[in-house]
Structure 1
């Protein structure tokens, strides 16, 4: 499980899939999280997918045991950690997502949004 701290510096409130509303200029900490998503008005959703021990194909790094995929409309971050992970997500005044961690490893990745078979 990981801790997610969200700081909302955006012009509108941010909705969360578990029913929490993070007011503009407010923040919220989610302890012992699994998967959830944030809804940023005018920008779309930010999805935090709990991968548990599953690794993303084609990405042997980072190597830590537990994983989270943070997915937005056009790009992703891949985060892995040991023990309790910690992610800070800041949505700035322009709606841009800033991610950081002090525990574990986070890298920028690109996954396809659509695959035709």
Structure 2
């Protein structure tokens, strides 16, 4: 479990897990005790936060952190790892990036 902090600088509201609304242009939220989560962003679709727990994605033998989250959109993915402080911050900018 981790805390997902989201800041929305986008011109439209976004939703987290289908029910938490983060309003447009500067609103933010801290969502505690997240596992698998998704953010719906108008114009992009869904951004998934897949909690891999302690499973590692193959091909990264140098990883030392214990916990893993795979972040995916339709055309981008990132692999986030943490140990200790379980906090992830995401900013949706005015260009939906």
Q: TM-score, normalised by structure 2?
A: 0.91
Report the CA distance between 1:22 and its aligned residue: 0.6
Q: Secondary structure, in 3 states, of the residue corresponding to 1:10?
A: coil
Please show how residues 1-117 of structure 1 align to structure 2 within 5 Å: 1-25=1-25, 26-96=27-97
C-alpha distance in structure 1 between counterparts of 2:81 and 2:24, whole Å: 29
Compare 1-10 and 54-63 and name the one that shifted more: 54-63
User: Closer, same or farther in 2 for the Cα pair 1:71/1:61, shift >3 Å?
Assistant: farther
Number of aligned residue pairs: give it: 96
Structure 1 unaligned residues grouped into runs of 5+: 97-117
Aligned-residue CA RMSD (Å): 1.2
Structure 2 unaligned residues grouped into runs of 5+: none
Question: Stretches of 4+ moved more than 6 A in 1?
Answer: none
Using CA pairs below 8 Å that are at least 6 residues apart, which structure has the higher relative contact order?
A: 2
C-alpha distance in structure 2 between counterparts of 1:44 and 1:19, whole Å: 15
Compare 58-67 and 24-33 and name the one that shifted more: 58-67
C-alpha distance in structure 2 between counterparts of 1:18 and 1:56, whole Å: 27
